[in-house]
């Protein structure tokens, strides 16, 4: 049986370095040869084929030649020559090639609890009390915290000297080598911790000797697409180890949940239940007080660092298993799995089959736009006795029902792969309920959840233009059938006397007092209209639902409130408006008797005398570019000015791209008609010289009442209340 790989790196010399698990739980290093390969659509006429093997492949695909090299140097010399004459497709990184070539997977025979995981967090200080900057000689690392298997190890700066910091950095490298983790985890690990450590190591001419096989860390600029925005970060690769940033995992998680107001560690830890809602038992230090605590209250400083490590581990415990299971399924590494989308992963599975069958590969097809799933909001207002039903894995089930492989899949592996993964999912779903131990049930649950995400992504793959085996016509047929099926279900639920509330692609919400206590009886009454192998599931029961607009609603189950959609809670919403909206939702759903109108009146009074804290009014936004880049764009006549970017320009040191900036608006002065002209960082608030503008924030209350007043039976005033503050 092949050994279980826990680390993999292909060297520049073309040797595959492997770290494998021993029976006793240890780690051993091995090396193997590596024969890199690529697909070609023709034979390069001028190519030097010495040291290369060229094969003709079966099938009609455009890439009908496969070339192997005996070593990496020969292969890399061949590639530019080949690309000058023909089309070349080569899988990168090389580690994925190796795994695909050998049909190997990382962590294949290990459970999540058997992998060596280490959490990292650093604390830094500055000479002048400002935000610590690694490029300034006098700023430095105060402490490096490591946590492995629930045990903390804190490395502390012994003196405020260069020699002491150099010793601290050397101690960190030694501690990491001794612990030898398979995975290094941290929150904002790429943009802060590892980048800061790299810059300090460079100052002392120390190698970042953090990888396996005697290798150093490698840094390069990278980007991750998160819905409509890109996140730039300095990626760090450690040969033989995976680097996992929970800051990015949280944002990936929130792409579907859309329920996190902030991605900071402290706020996220509360959301995920890692720290109590009232934050009892958790040590907190404001950023500007960390260095003072290090000097004068070492016990509190250490407790704060240990809580950061604990919360980081807790986040990874919840968010990482899905990616861990993907790595046991795809020929890829864990770090790649967290930073690459489903299309890349499914391509790897397909290409693995084509490689071993020696079958020609197609060109990625152009996919024409097609209609998506059926979505509709049927009601506005508050409804009781709410039931949620969805069609289990609707699109994958329809794909299997149709049974047609994508047009470019001449080998016919797409549907069999999907069916095999669906069967795996059902197997682990059963084990999640019946396995004898809690640990086994948790492991099976993680696996079935991962397979659910994977099989659901097969449909999305078909409709993506960059997918090598995509098929827009097949994807359009699936969505057409999905729309028809969901509308038939809705009609049947209505025939059973239900009030339809919300429908979205494969699920629906309805109100039914007669069936509220017997949701499965209602499900059985309507399930008969479904085709074979399509299963309707009861997915939730809620005391009340507030329907605001399509894809924006709130649900109540006991005292718990669940929000869906950004309209009810935008991350950029000012805190006072967020609290007002939270109270509105809790009041409408019957979770709280406190009317938001009382809070609205209080806000008006406190704005009038400016007693409302500015922090309650400050808006927070992520910077999508650095202040320097914003200045260049403005100088070149680029995009309109932005208030957040103008506020960021006033901060020293300037914030980095992707960081959050909080700002408020000052009162209008002559010639200041636009918000960007009045934006000022919250950190520089001066109540005497630059107070906030109460009229502006009162007008926002008017806007809020305009949107939500009808749900409270209150008509907004014809004249804006903001006029009360003119000239204030």
Written in H, E and C, the secondary structure of 406-442 is: CCCCCCCCHHHHHHHHHHHHHHHHHHHHHCCCHHHHH
Instruction: Tell me whether residue 428 is in a domain.
Output: no
- Let me know: does 624 contact 657? Beta carbons within 8 Å: yes
Query: What does the pLDDT read at residue 630?
Result: 79
Handedness of CA 403, 405, 410, 411 (dihedral sign): negative
The pTM (predicted TM-score) of the whole model is 0.85
SS3 626: coil
Residue range 311-360, pLDDT digits in tens: 999 999 999 998 998 999 999 999 999 999 888 999 999 999 999 999 99
Question: What confidence tier does 50 reach under pLDDT thresholds 50, 70, 90?
Answer: confident
Structural tokens at position 403 = 């049974």
Query: What does the pLDDT read at residue 414?
Result: 96
Instruction: Tell me whether residue 456 is in a domain.
Output: no
**75 contacts: CB under 8 Å, gap ≥ 6:** 14, 36, 38, 52, 69
Q: Looking only at Cα atoms, what is the longest distance across the chain?
A: 84
Nearest by Cα to 186 from 126, 241, 130, 256: 241
* Residues across the chain: 728
Is 201 found in the same domain as 129? yes
Instruction: Tell me whether residue 353 is in a domain.
Output: no
SS3 62: coil
Peptide bond connecting 550 to the previous residue in cis, omega within 30 degrees of 0 = no
CA 233 to chain centre: 14
Residue range 227-272, pLDDT digits in tens: 777 888 999 999 999 999 999 999 998 887 666 767 889 889 988 8
Alpha carbons 61 and 17: distance in angstroms, whole number: 34
Handedness of CA 399, 403, 408, 413 (dihedral sign): positive
Q: What is the mean pLDDT of the chain?
A: 91
Is 31 found in the same domain as 68? yes
**Mean pLDDT within 625-642:** 76
Domain that holds residue 712: 575-725
Half-sphere exposure of 399 (CA within 13 A, CB side): 29
SS3 305: helix
**252 contacts: CB under 8 Å, gap ≥ 6:** 226, 338
CA 186 to chain centre: 14
**CATH code, domain with 187:** 3.30.420.10
Is 99 found in the same domain as 52? yes
Residue 48 has pLDDT above 80, yes or no: no
Is 583 found in the same domain as 558? no
Is 288 found in the same domain as 173? yes
Higher-confidence residue: 8 or 452?
A: 8
Of the candidates 309, 327, 345, which is a domain's last residue?
327
- Let me know: does 348 contact 100? Beta carbons within 8 Å: yes
Tokens 């470019």, residue located: 408
Alpha carbons 650 and 344: distance in angstroms, whole number: 41
87-90 CB contacts, 8 Å cutoff, 24+ apart: 87/40, 87/41, 87/42, 87/62, 87/63, 88/38, 88/39, 88/40, 89/38, 89/39, 89/40, 89/63, 89/361, 90/36, 90/37, 90/38, 90/39
Residue range 349-394, pLDDT digits in tens: 999 999 999 999 999 998 888 998 999 999 999 999 999 999 988 9
- Let me know: does 85 contact 24? Beta carbons within 8 Å: no
Alpha carbons 91 and 326: distance in angstroms, whole number: 18
How large a percentage of the chain has pLDDT more than 70?
A: 96
Query: What does the pLDDT read at residue 46?
Result: 67
Is 153 found in the same domain as 298? yes
Is 225 found in the same domain as 126? yes
Query: What does the pLDDT read at residue 571?
Result: 67
- Let me know: does 518 contact 565? Beta carbons within 8 Å: no
Structural tokens at position 713 = 């039976």
Domain tally, the chain: 4
**726 contacts: CB under 8 Å, gap ≥ 6:** 695
Handedness of CA 291, 296, 298, 302 (dihedral sign): negative
Higher-confidence residue: 556 or 48?
A: 556
Is 676 found in the same domain as 693? yes
**Mean pLDDT within 626-634:** 76
Instruction: Tell me whether residue 532 is in a domain.
Output: yes
E strands along 303-431, which residues?
375-377, 381-391
Of the candidates 81, 104, 127, which is a domain's last residue?
104
Alpha carbons 553 and 613: distance in angstroms, whole number: 30
Query: What does the pLDDT read at residue 388?
Result: 97
β-pair type (552-557, 536-549): antiparallel
Alpha carbons 657 and 633: distance in angstroms, whole number: 14
Instruction: Tell me whether residue 346 is in a domain.
Output: no
SS3 492: helix
Q: What are phi and psi of 144, to 5 degrees?
A: -125, 120
Tokens 């069916």, residue located: 419
User: From residue 606, how far is each of 450, 579, 580, 667, 695 by CA, in Å?
Assistant: 50, 15, 14, 16, 12
Query: What does the pLDDT read at residue 47?
Result: 62
Instruction: Tell me whether residue 158 is in a domain.
Output: yes
Is 214 found in the same domain as 177? yes
Residue 641 is given by DSSP the state P
Query: What does the pLDDT read at residue 723?
Result: 37
Nearest by Cα to 6 from 125, 107, 134, 100: 107
**CATH code, domain with 633:** 1.10.132.60
Is 170 found in the same domain as 279? yes
Is 599 found in the same domain as 556? no
Of the candidates 564, 597, 620, which is a domain's last residue?
564
Instruction: Tell me whether residue 544 is in a domain.
Output: yes
User: From residue 365, how far is each of 43, 51, 181, 484, 541 by CA, in Å?
Assistant: 23, 33, 42, 27, 43
Range with the poorest average pLDDT among 90-94, 537-541, 642-646: 642-646
- Let me know: does 579 contact 598? Beta carbons within 8 Å: no
Alpha carbons 141 and 98: distance in angstroms, whole number: 38
3-state secondary structure 306-342: HHHHHHHHHHHHHHHHHHHHHHCCCCCCHHHHHHCCH
Range with the poorest average pLDDT among 24-33, 70-79, 666-675: 666-675
- Let me know: does 123 contact 134? Beta carbons within 8 Å: no
Residue 130 is given by DSSP the state S
Nearest by Cα to 528 from 491, 489, 497, 557: 489
Half-sphere exposure of 482 (CA within 13 A, CB side): 29
Query: What does the pLDDT read at residue 455?
Result: 87
Is 172 found in the same domain as 319? yes
- Return the number of other C-beta atoms located less than 10 Å from residue 528's C-beta: 8
Query: What does the pLDDT read at residue 586?
Result: 96
Instruction: Tell me whether residue 265 is in a domain.
Output: yes
Residue range 274-287, pLDDT digits in tens: 998 777 889 998 87
Alpha carbons 439 and 405: distance in angstroms, whole number: 38
Nearest by Cα to 531 from 398, 413, 406, 422: 398
Residue range 497-507, pLDDT digits in tens: 999 999 998 89
**CATH code, domain with 389:** 3.90.1600.10
DSSP codes of every residue in 147-205? EETTEEEEEE--SSSHHHHHHHHHHHHHHHHHH--SEEEETTIIIIIIHHHHHHHHHTT
CA 448 to chain centre: 19
Q: Helix, strand, coil % (nearest 5) of the chain? A: 40, 20, 35
Residue 461 has pLDDT above 60, yes or no: yes
- Return the number of other C-beta atoms located less than 10 Å from residue 439's C-beta: 12
SS3 54: strand
Structural tokens at position 549 = 């607009």
Range with the poorest average pLDDT among 82-86, 172-176, 304-308, 724-728: 724-728
């Amino acid at each position: 049986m092949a050994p279980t790989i826990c680390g993999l790196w292909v060297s520049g010399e073309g040797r595959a370095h492997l770290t494998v698990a021993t029976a006793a739980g240890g780690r051993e290093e091995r090396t193997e040869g590596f024969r890199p390969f690529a697909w070609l659509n023709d034979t390069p006429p001028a190519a030097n084929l010495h040291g290369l093997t060229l094969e003709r492949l079966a099938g009609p695909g455009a890439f009908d030649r496969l070339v192997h090299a005996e070593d990496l140097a020969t292969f890399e010399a061949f590639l530019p020559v080949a690309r000058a004459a023909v089309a070349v497709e080569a899988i990168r990184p090389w580690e994925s090639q190796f795994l695909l070539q050998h049909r190997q997977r990382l962590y294949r025979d290990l459970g999540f609890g058997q992998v060596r995981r280490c959490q990292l967090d650093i604390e830094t200080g500055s000479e002048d009390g400002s935000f610590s900057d690694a490029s300034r000689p006098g700023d430095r690392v105060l402490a490096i915290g490591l946590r492995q298997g629930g045990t903390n190890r804190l490395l502390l700066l012994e003196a405020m000297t260069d020699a002491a910091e150099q010793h601290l950095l050397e101690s960190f490298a030694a501690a990491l080598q001794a612990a030898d983790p398979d995975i290094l985890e941290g929150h904002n690990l790429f943009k802060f911790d590892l980048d800061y450590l790299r810059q300090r190591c460079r100052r002392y001419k120390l190698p970042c000797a953090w990888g396996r096989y005697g290798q150093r860390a490698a840094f390069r600029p990278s980007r991750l697409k998160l819905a409509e925005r890109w996140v730039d970060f300095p990626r760090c690769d450690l040969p033989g180890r995976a680097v996992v940033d929970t800051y990015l995992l949280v944002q990936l998680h929130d792409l579907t949940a859309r329920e996190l107001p902030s991605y900071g560690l402290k706020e996220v830890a509360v959301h995920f239940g890692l720290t109590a809602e009232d934050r009892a038992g958790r040590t907190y230090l404001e950023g500007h007080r960390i260095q003072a605590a290090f000097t004068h209250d070492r016990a509190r400083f250490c407790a704060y660092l240990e809580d950061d490590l604990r919360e980081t581990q807790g986040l990874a415990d919840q968010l990482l298993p899905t990616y861990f299971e993907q790595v046991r399924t795809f020929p890829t590494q864990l770090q790649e799995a967290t930073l690459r989308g489903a299309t890349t992963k499914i391509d790897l599975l397909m290409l693995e089959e084509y490689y071993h069958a020696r079958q020609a590969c197609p060109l990625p097809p152009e996919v024409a736009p097609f209609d998506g799933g059926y979505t509709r909001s049927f009601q506005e207002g508050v409804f009781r006795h709410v039931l949620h039903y969805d069609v289990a894995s609707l699109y994958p089930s329809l794909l299997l029902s149709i049974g047609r492989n994508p047009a470019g899949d001449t080998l016919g592996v797409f549907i069999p792969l999907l069916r095999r993964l669906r069967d795996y999912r059902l197997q682990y779903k059963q084990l999640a309920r019946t396995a004898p131990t809690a640990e086994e049930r948790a492991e099976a649950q993680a696996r079935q959840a991962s397979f659910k995400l994977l099989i659901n992504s097969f449909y999305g793959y078909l409709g993506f233009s960059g997918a090598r085996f995509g098929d827009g016509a097949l994807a359009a047929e699936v969505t057409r059938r999905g729309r028809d099926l969901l509308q038939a279900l809705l009609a049947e639920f209505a025939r059973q006397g239900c009030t339809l509330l919300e429908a979205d692609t494969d699920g629906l919400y309805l109100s039914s007092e007669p069936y509220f206590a017997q949701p499965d009886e209602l499900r059985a009454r309507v399930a008969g209209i479904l085709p074979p192998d399509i299963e309707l599931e009861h997915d939730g029961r809620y005391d009340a639902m507030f329907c605001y607009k399509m894809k924006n609603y709130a649900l109540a189950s006991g005292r718990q409130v669940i929000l869906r959609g950004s309209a009810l809670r935008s991350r950029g919403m000012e805190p006072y408006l967020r609290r007002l909206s939270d109270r509105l939702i809790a009041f409408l759903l019957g979770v709280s008797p406190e009317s938001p109108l009382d809070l609205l009146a209080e806000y008006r009074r406190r704005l009038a005398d400016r007693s409302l804290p500015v922090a309650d009014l400050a808006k927070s936004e992520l910077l999508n570019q650095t202040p320097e880049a914003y200045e260049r764009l403005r100088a070149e006549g680029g995009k309109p000015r932005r208030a957040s970017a103008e506020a960021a320009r006033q901060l020293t040191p300037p914030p980095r791209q992707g960081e959050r900036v909080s700002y408020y608006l000052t009162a209008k002065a002559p010639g200041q008609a636009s918000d960007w002209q009045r934006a000022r960082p919250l950190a520089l608030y001066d109540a005497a010289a630059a107070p906030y503008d109460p009229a502006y924030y009162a007008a926002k209350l008017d806007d809020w009442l305009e949107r939500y007043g009808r749900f409270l039976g209150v008509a907004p005033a014809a004249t804006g209340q903001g006029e009360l503050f003119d000239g204030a």
